């Protein structure tokens, strides 16, 4: 079976850019060496539009205050970190919803009102003047009209009149995991009023692609064009004004629905955008949706197709932009989101600390919504070696199990016990029991709800007991970036790869202590970072629990363990050649990371480029050729059911 190797990662969440481990470094910035802390703050300051780069490589160039422009004095990287560091810290991770999204203190809405006749008039009627073209198509039975001029009528209403009143209200859910303050993707390319979630998908896919350090055209020269798969989606579709949000609101606001609203809102659109505008892909397009386990559901399809040879390269990920009053109202009505009032009651604070709104496994009162775009490039092991691609780790298994009969569709059930037990057993089968017991850790779903802290910790603790694990390290990255719904598992995978790289397991720094009702006899979690030699970290298990019984757990192997497996399969000589080739990829990737830290993102957007016309396609019974593509597509010739047919 082919091994799916992770060769690139990209995206953006509340902690920053995924590639080059920027977002991971932001989460552990308090324990980074000075030079890495400076680089992290610098890259984020540029991303947030606080400073602009004046050219050169990071650490060697100079920067200016973006607001001052040419009048601003030149600053070194360390000066940027010193002067703007606190603004970077304050403008990242979970925080109070910024006004660029909507005003949580004065959210516009329509309240109901009933107008009654003036009792002093003794007529029992209400009168007002209305433009003729604003009259309803069918007049209510208690309305009568009297013309005033060519364009207006006097309306007399017998009795009460129900109306909608333009109003404002205080929004009870005021915290979210927002992208870094000031970062505006729409200015990076001709975004054509595209929904925010699709802008994020283009950014994340580009970031992941360039993080490989290998040109995409080079990859395509080594494979058939249909041996590429994109596995992506959003959980709720695109809900802002340029998509479903605008479509749902238009008529109620007296406006017209735009031609793009429906198409742009479909939850498979992140896949479609990446295929059409980033990769120019003619291979597999797959979009799975599984609530909060959506990322792992897409990942399962990708690794299955890689393992069986159906594809050779996969881009896997999700993009979600759910920070808006409609979705937050929906979750809040369910009682799932942390409100300011409940935080005051739960934590006993007189002033709400929105920075600590998300508190997995601590004393908590609900989760905090977040937005993110997370994408990963995977190749089968043979192609990764052939191209000299980076090795960030590998994925061996993803398990998905439902809950069976449920009393409430949102309640947990036994499915997650099954997926976690399977993941632990599969990790043992591949890496051995000792590696699981001594060199593994868990990226928990950790949603920050009272129910999750009890049920998930019980599952993890029971699995640890069954597999004789003590002090199993448990991470919960939603404390930093919030719950990003579809990409949540991608946030976890990015953190797992960062942990392999740095040997630092981010603590749950938003909690004071683990809650008393959390099962932790065999688990190790808390607010403190855990620092471990990277050589002693070989296995990460990702866990997702989604509404409706969407449970998923995945086994991720470290770069060191992955290379050990590659050596056993391909031999020392092949690995030596691979590592020599990889030097070029790593150098190119590092160059991209430096350019991106200086604000040179340039999302790939191939709108209308390289269109394939009917006359560009030729075929016979064995192959199909498309003009402009390096290789032909081999048509199926093998009968996989030979024992059942006469052919």
Predicted pLDDT at 635: 96
User: Cβ distance 12 to 48 under 8 Å?
Assistant: no
Strand partners, 619: 624
Task: Tell me the C-alpha distance between 561 and 440, whole Å.
Answer: 12
Predicted pLDDT at 412: 83
Q: How crowded is residue 127: how many other Cβ atoms within 10 Å of its Cβ?
A: 14
Task: Tell me the C-alpha distance between 196 and 148, whole Å.
Answer: 47
Render pLDDT for 25-57 as a digit per residue (tens, 0 to 9): 999 999 999 999 999 999 999 999 999 998 655
Task: Tell me the C-alpha distance between 416 and 406, whole Å.
Answer: 14
- Of 492, 499, 440, which Cα lies nearest the Cα of 470? 440
CA distances from 426 to 1, 414, 432, 461, 503 (A): 14, 19, 9, 18, 23
User: Cβ distance 27 to 37 under 8 Å?
Assistant: no
How many degrees, rounded to 5, is the angle at CA 552 between CA 550 and CA 558?
Answer: 160
Task: Tell me the C-alpha distance between 7 and 391, whole Å.
Answer: 5
Predicted pLDDT at 60: 61
Task: Tell me the C-alpha distance between 496 and 519, whole Å.
Answer: 23
Task: Tell me the C-alpha distance between 188 and 393, whole Å.
Answer: 31
Predicted pLDDT at 398: 98
pLDDT at residue 313 tops 90: yes
* H or E stretch covering 624: strand 623-626
pLDDT at residue 470 tops 90: yes
Q: What is the DSSP letter of 30?
A: G
Predicted pLDDT at 560: 98
Report helix, strand or coil for 120: coil
pLDDT at residue 367 tops 60: yes
Render pLDDT for 234-277 as a digit per residue (tens, 0 to 9): 999 998 888 888 888 877 777 888 878 888 889 999 999 999 99
* H or E stretch covering 269: helix 269-273
User: Cβ distance 274 to 532 under 8 Å?
Assistant: no
Surface-to-core class of residue 203, CB atoms within 10 Å of its CB (0-12 exposed, 13-18 middle, 19+ buried) = buried
pLDDT at residue 137 tops 70: yes
Domain extents in the chain: 4-48+174-400+409-570, 51-90, 107-169
Residue 411's pLDDT band (boundaries 50, 70, 90)?
Answer: confident
Q: How would you write 336-363 as a 3-class SS string?
A: CECCHHHHHHHHCCCCCCHHHCCCCCCC
User: Cβ distance 555 to 395 under 8 Å?
Assistant: yes
Task: Tell me the C-alpha distance between 283 and 229, whole Å.
Answer: 6
* H or E stretch covering 115: strand 107-115
Task: Tell me the C-alpha distance between 185 and 202, whole Å.
Answer: 9
Please state the φ and ψ torsions of residue 512, each to the nearest 5 degrees: -80, -35
CA distances from 61 to 9, 64, 74, 590 (A): 26, 10, 9, 16
Just list the catalytic residues: 292, 445, 483
User: Cβ distance 318 to 200 under 8 Å?
Assistant: no
Predicted pLDDT at 258: 84
pLDDT at residue 647 tops 80: no
Report helix, strand or coil for 190: coil
The CA dihedral of 32, 38, 40, 46, to the nearest 10 degrees, is 170
- Cα 211 versus chain centre, distance: 17
Which are the contacts of 381, defined by CB distance < 8 A and separation ≥ 6? 2, 3, 4, 5, 394, 566, 569, 570
Q: Looking at residues 433-440, what average pLDDT do you find?
A: 98
Quote the mean pLDDT of the chain.
95
Q: Looking at residues 117-139, what average pLDDT do you find?
A: 93
pTM: 0.95
Q: What is the DSSP letter of 75?
A: B
Half-sphere exposure for 482 (CA within 13 Å, toward CB): 36
* Topology classification of domain 4-48+174-400+409-570: Peroxisomal Thiolase; Chain A, domain 1 (3.40.47)
Predicted pLDDT at 193: 87
Task: Tell me the C-alpha distance between 549 and 516, whole Å.
Answer: 26
Predicted pLDDT at 71: 84
Q: Looking at residues 116-144, what average pLDDT do you find?
A: 93
User: Cβ distance 561 to 3 under 8 Å?
Assistant: no
Which are the contacts of 314, defined by CB distance < 8 A and separation ≥ 6? 4, 228, 229, 230, 231, 302, 303, 305, 306, 377, 378, 379
Predicted pLDDT at 70: 83
Predicted pLDDT at 56: 56
Report helix, strand or coil for 117: coil
Q: What is the DSSP letter of 283?
A: S
**What is the secondary structure of 377-416 as a DSSP string?**
EEEEHHHHHHHT----EEEEEEEEE---S-SSTTS--THH
CA distances from 350 to 39, 347, 498, 514, 589 (A): 36, 9, 36, 22, 48
Q: What is the DSSP letter of 123?
A: S
User: Cβ distance 493 to 393 under 8 Å?
Assistant: no
Angle at which helix 196-211 crosses helix 572-597, to 10 degrees, equals 140
Q: What is the C-alpha end-to-end distance of the chain, expressed in Å?
A: 28
Task: Tell me the C-alpha distance between 130 and 108, whole Å.
Answer: 24
User: Cβ distance 506 to 23 under 8 Å?
Assistant: no
Residue the block writes with tokens 């498309």 = 626
pLDDT at residue 410 tops 90: no
Task: Tell me the C-alpha distance between 441 and 459, whole Å.
Answer: 14
The CA dihedral of 429, 431, 432, 434, to the nearest 10 degrees, is -150
Predicted pLDDT at 57: 56
Both tokens of 238, joined, read 């695109």
β strands within 140-237, DSSP E: 143-147, 152-158, 161-169, 175-177, 228-233
What percent of the chain is modeled with pLDDT above 90?
A: 87
Q: Looking at residues 99-114, what average pLDDT do you find?
A: 93
pLDDT at residue 475 tops 90: yes
pLDDT at residue 407 tops 90: no
User: Cβ distance 294 to 486 under 8 Å?
Assistant: yes
Strand partners, 130: 153
């Amino acid at each position: 079976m082919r091994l799916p190797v992770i060769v690139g990662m990209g995206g953006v969440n509340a902690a920053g850019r995924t590639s080059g481990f920027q977002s991971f470094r932001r989460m552990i910035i308090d324990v980074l060496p000075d030079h890495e802390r400076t680089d992290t703050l610098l890259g984020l300051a540029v991303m947030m539009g606080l400073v602009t780069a004046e050219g050169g490589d990071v650490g060697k160039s100079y920067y200016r205050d973006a607001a001052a422009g040419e009048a601003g004095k030149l600053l070194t990287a360390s000066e940027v970190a010193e002067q703007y560091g606190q603004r970077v810290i304050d403008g990242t991770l979970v925080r109070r919803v910024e006004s660029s999204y909507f005003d949580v203190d004065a959210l516009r809405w329509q309240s109901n009102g009933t107008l009654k006749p003036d009792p002093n008039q003794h007529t029992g009627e209400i009168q007002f003047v209305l433009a003729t073209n604003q009259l309803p198509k069918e007049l209510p039975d208690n309305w009568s009209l009297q013309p005033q001029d060519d364009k207006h009528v006097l309306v007399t209403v017998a009795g009460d009149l129900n109306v909608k009143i333009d109003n404002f209200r205080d929004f009870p859910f005021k915290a979210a995991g927002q992208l870094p303050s000031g970062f505006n993707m729409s200015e990076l390319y001709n975004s054509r009023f595209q929904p925010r979630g699709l802008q994020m998908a283009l950014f994340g896919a580009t970031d992941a692609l360039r993080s490989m350090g290998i040109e995409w055209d080079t990859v395509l020269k080594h494979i058939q064009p249909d041996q590429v798969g994109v596995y992506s989606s959003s959980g709720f579709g695109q809900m802002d004004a340029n998509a479903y949000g605008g479509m749902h609101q238009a008529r109620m606001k007296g406006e017209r629905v735009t031609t793009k609203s429906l198409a742009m809102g479909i939850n498979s659109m992140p896949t479609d955008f990446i295929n059409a505008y980033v990769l120019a892909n003619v291979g597999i397009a797959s979009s799975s949706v599984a609530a909060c386990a959506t990322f792992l559901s897409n990942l399962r399809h990708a690794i299955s197709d890689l393992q069986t040879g159906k594809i050779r390269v996969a881009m896997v990920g999700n993009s979600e932009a759910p920070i808006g009053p409609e979705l937050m109202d929906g979750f809040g009505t369910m009682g799932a989101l942390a409100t300011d009032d409940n935080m005051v009651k739960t934590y006993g604070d007189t002033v709400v600390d929105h920075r600590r709104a998300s508190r997995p496994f601590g004393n908590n009162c609900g989760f905090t919504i977040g937005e993110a775009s997370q994408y990963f490039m995977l190749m089968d092991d043979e192609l990764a070696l052939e191209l000299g691609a980076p090795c960030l780790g590998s994925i061996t298994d993803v398990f998905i199990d439902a809950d069976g009969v449920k009393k409430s569709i949102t309640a947990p059930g036994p499915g997650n016990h099954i997926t976690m037990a399977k993941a632990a057993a599969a990790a043992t089968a591949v890496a051995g029991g000792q590696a699981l017991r001594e060199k593994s850790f868990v990226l928990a779903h950790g949603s920050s709800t009272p129910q999750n802290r009890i049920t998930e910790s019980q599952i993890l603790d029971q699995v640890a007991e069954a597999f004789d694990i003590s002090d199993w390290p448990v991470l919960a990255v939603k404390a930093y970036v919030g719950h990003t719904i579809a990409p949540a598992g991608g946030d976890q995978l990015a953190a797992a790869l960062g942990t392999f790289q740095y040997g630092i397991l981010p603590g749950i720094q938003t909690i004071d202590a683990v809650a008393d009702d959390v099962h932790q006899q065999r688990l190790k979690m808390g607010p403190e970072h855990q620092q471990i030699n990277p050589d002693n970290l070989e296995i990460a298990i990702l866990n997702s629990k989604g509404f409706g019984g969407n449970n998923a757990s995945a086994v991720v192997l470290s770069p060191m363990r992955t290379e050990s497996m590659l050596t056993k399969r391909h031999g020392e000589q092949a690995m030596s050649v691979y590592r020599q080739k990889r030097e070029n990829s790593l150098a190119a990737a590092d160059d991209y990371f430096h350019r991106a830290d200086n604000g040179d993102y340039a999302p790939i957007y191939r709108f209308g480029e390289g269109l394939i016309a009917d006359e560009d396609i030729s075929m016979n019974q064995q192959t199909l050729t498309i003009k402009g593509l390096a290789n032909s597509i081999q048509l199926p010739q093998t009968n996989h059911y030979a024992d059942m047919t006469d052919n």
